[in-house]
Amino acid sequence: MQKTYFLIAPDHFKKNNTKFRRHRIAEALIQEGGSKVYWLYPLKSKKMNTHFIKETLENGVTCLGVPDYYSFGRYSNISDRYFRKLKELVVGKSTIIYTIPIFKNIPKLVGINRVYYDCSDNWTESWLTGKESLKSKLIEKLKLQLVGKEEKSIIKGANKIFVSSIFLQQKVQYQNSGNKIQLVENGVDFSLFNTTNMPNESNSNTELSIGYIGGLKNKVDLKLIELVADEFPNYLIYLIGPIDKNTDISLLKNKTNVRIKAPIPLESVPQRMSQLCLGIMPYRNISYNKGIVPLKLFEYLAVGVPVISIGLPSIKKFEEPGVLKVSDDYEQFINFSKILIEQRNDDTLVNRRIKIAEQNSWEKKMQLIITAINEEPI
């Protein structure tokens, strides 16, 4: 049976050249014979008469940029007239998969057969630091109110909801979604990351390093990274990834043992990670971070590297000595880090880290989601 999938995403498929959970879902759906997958994302626009921006990627997914009038159309009816054009794209049965709560009116305007919501972020919480201008705070407050209304509407109309953490599961259940929730945590491209898993002579070289590979945003605890640099003066602290324009990293730049690097290609990440003595996940203790299970957790483990975290209560279920430690404060973070570094090259622990990552491969996670979607009657 031919099927048409509309996947709602926050930005273009290739933005930052990063593969998130939503990318895995789109690629898994396109593998179904005869299926069409459209990746809909808001396209900032100051003109009301702008058309869709259409681009078919080499993997078969078609990106559709939806005109988003002054970044407000995604939360209102302004974009409705564009959605009616989606009817022309439907072949066979149609399904919409929300990975962000925007464009809630698509199902009723297009006549969608099934609606799914893949909730992998705490969209109704902010990661502002409190130092922003009054204007920024007011805009953020308005945005979160609009997002909250969108999410409630989508949850109410969804046939099934996937969540990436127990925290998000509880949040969705609180909004009266009944028994249609399925917990599917994030995973790792195990076949890619496991190619350089075992520490060897080159990985145990003279360079001692601790690393954070991911975006530097205000949800990350920059003060803690500064403390790590001070507490481990003989280690190079690598920060590799995109830097959000609103994130001030000036103090980190002044640290002599901190190395701030631009994003690297995904295929280069496993080798770089495998050279670390410790992978850090220093997140701020804010509501937004309570629902996060970072992709980098299982990526670190897949290459045999121990992990230390803070501000991420949803990953505590994976905590094991010598594998992952979830700290409650700065002092614990530093103390646990020292212990984990000492255990870095313990063969038994290296194998255990890799085993946990293998159990949480994207292949296994996507099989759960795609099977659930295909099992649902249309």
Q: Mean pLDDT score of the chain, rounded to an integer? A: 91
Kindly indicate whether the domain formed by 190-359 is annotated with CATH number 3.40.50.2000: yes
Encode pLDDT of 10-67 as tens digits: 999 998 778 899 999 999 999 987 889 999 999 887 776 667 899 999 999 999 998 8
Supply the pLDDT for residue 75.
85
CATH superfamily of the 3-186+362-375 domain: Glycogen Phosphorylase B; (3.40.50.2000)
Closest CA to 242 of 78, 65, 17: 17
pTM: 0.91
Check: CB of residue 2 under 8 Å from CB of residue 92. Answer: yes
Q: Per residue in 168-188, pLDDT tens?
A: 999 998 876 666 999 999 999
pLDDT score of 198: 46
| Residue 203 or residue 175, greater confidence | 175
Strands 114-119 and 36-45: unpaired
CA dihedral 252, 253, 254, 257 (to 10 degrees): 80
Q: Which of 336, 269, 330 is nearest to 308 (CA)?
A: 336
The pLDDT confidence band at residue 138, using thresholds 50, 70 and 90, is very high
Helix (H) or strand (E) holding 147: helix 134-157
Counting other chains too, the contacts that 77-83 makes at CB distance below 8 Å and 24 or more residues apart are 77/105, 78/48, 79/103, 79/105, 80/105, 80/109, 82/52, 83/109, 83/110
Domain with CATH 3.40.50.2000 in the chain: 3-186+362-375, 190-359
